[in-house]
Structure 1
């Protein structure tokens, strides 16, 4: 059996293990180890090669950005800035049709700019926004759909953990990827808001039987300043520092953590017990991400040794499906895999496989990264996996809304994401204009 055949068998075995319920990093590591063993003929050499890949990956200076932004996201969540963002956004859009829904989208966009974790957004706003919308006459389906849809902004609007992961996999500048995500992220928020407003104007019954405007209670200017200034300051500190060239992404993460801790202490919303819980959760998430990235690098080394990416590239070149044929096939495969796998796993499996092909075709890897994130994020809302939907279901402690109802509520937002995907495919400048 040739090295190429062994690579294909290892890839197939990995896919089977994933379908059987293996944790994705274990599936990647096992298939990589046995694949290298079969190619090199030595289990000891296979172990040493994969250990080298692991040590090189996790000791990289650029990996430091992961725990720092995870820590900042949890600090922002525990100090109550998520609720403040919702209150401020609801106040700003209170006079518009569907104002409470649009306010939820706006709050998620603000929250995304200081966290970068879609799951955190889904959990926070399920508890904050869903009961408030239902109380003001919105249907449960619409309420959970808005939260599910707008939660994906956390992985597109920088800082974003998926953009960091993509940068590590492709050795692209994380700062450039963050900048590239600004326009598509803002555009997606506008598409979501516009879709809600049009629905409220043309089909108000789809939003619910009650009022489709926000709550009548408003905030005073002082309250808006008190709630909005800490959030704006943290966003300006982190993103302004990156875009202004004052900080690297890693330094910005550290500065953002310090800023979030300072804000929590000044507001007296961060106690020792909360801080310990934040550190524990950050450690757990960072460890999970570390396993994912290590496994991805092992998988990449095995593929490179087998020659599968090179063979795949030659196949694409001789198949004559053209540049756009490759791009569309990739996007379709990502969206299809989104129905059964989480976002990180899809990227870990497909990006190393496609990278040699993309380099040969001279594809702009920054633009391609944004395309990948958008396509991957659609999977957060699609059955049967739809991890954001499951997070919302688990966070609905006081409401009994069926899982199918949440998926149906999220479906229009998945369609709106397809619109954004088409726009970025048709107009790459939307992702590259600021880079």
Structure 2
């Protein structure tokens, strides 16, 4: 009977029930099985609704989301792409490389891969098409480039991971910086190799003059200033992640008004979008807590830890199995539902095996990044296809080649955990 709630959860999801309601239904049924009293179930569910979202650190999420939508309303994505493309247009595949850089920088303002993909596909794909780039290169660069947003601060997914596992948000956000930069560099290198192998994919170069390049930097400095401000505050420890989110939101609005790129109507649109996105995340978070209470009372995570502990296999064999499972599941669902369903089961195992929770958080983001652009579903691939007007088959053709960069970054992260752990250790004054 203990596993019936999982069957209910899977069935509800297959029938298209929203993830928040599916988790609540399965969790409430599980509580009824374990407690045996409907009154107690109602009491637990009622108190969970408040206690789940009363945590002060959870305010980090809407603040980062508000900053992202304010930046989007200010039109920074188009200026980022224009500036970077002027510096890379003299090399074959340069516009695709510029797309990766611009998408990564916009991801540092948006914190969400799907948001970065939706905006940048409308900006970069038409531009690359007009310069003779193949759709698979253009769409692939946007899609895989958007996955860097799940790593680079202020990653909403890393914030949710930290809140669910009670891992330091500051350590997690800082830990994502070097892996995010590594992924962007490897992606750019993969693009350059691809277009060198097949020059017809990016047939032309359009060198810009030095005066044009210098002039293009005027459109970059506001975004760069905002990103450096956030990273400096996080890296120095002057402000908590929640305070960084508040400062970032206020700074984004101030810069938008100062540069006359943001209107009050744009602010209201950003606020409305933030409320919608935050409400959705909070509902899922509440539902995850209800389901988590059931897991705690049923002792299922503890039983899994005990079972894994009795396996006569190397711990790396287990971590590879967990990672493969994340990769498969991430092909069928977005990062937030994936984490709230799996982390209550996988995180205790990881901790019991002695793996660093910060390192595992970054590694989890890598697996989710793969699934976001991999068939048969791949949420980001669908977003790029719809927003950029590119056939889904061509999007997948591009991502299936460029995903090699994510595989390479993941392998390096597993062999060298210091890639993720070095900056947090440096900030905290620790040594490996």
> TM-score normalised to the size of structure 2?
0.95
- Of 403-412 and 160-169, more deviation after overlay is shown by 403-412
The answer to whether the aligner puts 1:185 opposite 2:180 as a matched pair is yes
Deviates more, 1:253-262 or 1:382-391: 382-391
One of 395, 399, 410 as aligned partner of 2:399: 410
C-alpha displacement of 1:215: 5.8
Which residue does 1:306 correspond to in 2? 298
Matches within 5 A, 1:251-262: 251-262=243-254
Q: Is the 8 A contact 1:167 1:177 kept in 2?
A: yes
- Alignment pair present for 1:133 and 2:125: no
Change (3 A) 1:95 1:215: closer
Matched residues in 2 for 1:238 and 1:62: separation? 17
Task: State the superposition RMSD in angstroms.
Answer: 1.5
Match of 1:360 among 320, 345, 352: 352
Distance in 2, matches of 1:203 and 1:221, equals 28
| 1:413 CA drift (Å) | 2.4
CA distance in 2, matches of 1:87, 1:168: 37
Counterpart among 372, 384, 390 of residue 392 in structure 1 = 384
Deviation at 1:219, TM superposition (A): 5.5
Task: Tell me whether 1:105 sits opposite 2:100 in the alignment.
Answer: yes
Greater Cα shift, 26-35 or 92-101: 92-101
The 10-residue stretch of structure 1 (292-301 or 60-69) with the greater mean CA deviation from structure 2:
292-301
Counterpart check, 1:53 vs 2:53 = no
Mind listing any 5+ residue stretches in structure 1 that lack a counterpart? none
The superposition leaves residues 167-195 of structure 1 with CA deviations (integer Å, 9 ceiling, x where unpaired) of: 01100111100111011000000000111
SS in 1 for 2:403: helix
Greater mean alpha carbon deviation, residues 236-245 or residues 366-375 = 236-245
Residues of 2 paired with 1:186 and 1:40: CA distance?
48
| Aligned counterpart for 1:433 among listed residues 399, 422, 428 | 422
Q: Is the 8 A contact 1:136 1:215 kept in 2?
A: no
Structure 1 distance, partners of 2:328, 2:14, is 14
Choose which of 144, 165, 171 in structure 1 pairs with 2:139.
144
Q: Distance in 2 between matches of 1:378 and 1:25?
A: 24
Question: What residue in structure 2 maps to residue 422 of structure 1?
Answer: 411
Equivalence map 1:219-238=2 (5 Å)? 220=212, 223-238=215-230
Query: Once the two structures are superposed, what CA deviation does each residue of 1:317-342 show, in whole Å capped at 9, x if it has no partner?
Result: 11223311210111010111112111
The equivalent residue for 1:369 is: 361
Secondary structure of 1:404's counterpart equals helix
d(CA) in 1 for partners of 2:286, 2:377: 24
Residue pair 2:83, 2:219 contacting (<8 A) in 1 also? yes
Moved over 6 A (4+): none
Between 45-54 and 299-308, report the one with greater CA deviation: 45-54
The residue correspondences of 1:237-316 to structure 2 (distance < 5 A) are 237-316=229-308
Conserved in 1, the CA contact under 8 Å of 2:331 and 2:379? Answer: no
In the TM superposition, residue 375 of structure 1 has moved relative to its aligned partner by 0.3
Does the Cα contact within 8 Å between 2:87 and 2:213 map onto a contact in 1?
no
Measured after TM superposition, the shift of residue 97 of structure 1 is 2.3
Secondary structure of 1:157's aligned partner? coil
Structure 1 residues 391 and 355, CA, compared in 2 at 3 Å: closer, same or farther? same
Matched position secondary structure for 2:367 = helix
Out of 342, 346, 356, the residue aligned to residue 338 of structure 2 is 346
Note if 1:169 corresponds to 2:164: yes
In the superposition, relative to structure 1, how do residues 177 and 214 fare at CA in structure 2: closer, same or farther (>3 Å)? Answer: farther
Pair 1:75-2:70 in alignment: yes
Distance in 2 (CA, whole Å) between partners of 1:306 and 1:82 is: 48
Paired residues of 1:64 and 1:250 also in contact (CA < 8 A): yes
| 1:148/1:392 contact within 8 Å kept | yes
Structure 1's 272 and 228: CA in aligned 2 closer, same or farther, altered over 3 A?
same
Aligned length: 424
Once the two structures are superposed, what CA deviation does each residue of 1:5-36 show, in whole Å capped at 9, x if it has no partner? Answer: 42x22122212222222211111110000110
Query: By how many angstroms is 1:218 displaced?
Result: 6.5
- The 8 Å contact of residues 88 and 227 in structure 1, kept in 2 or not, is answered as yes
Aligned to 1:383: 375
- Render the CA deviation track for 1:387-418: whole Å, top value 9, x for unaligned: 1112122213xx4x322221222112223211
TM-superposed CA distance for 1:221, in Å, is: 5.7
Query: Aligned-pair distance for 1:386?
Result: 1.1
Which residue of 81, 85, 101 maps to 2:80? 85
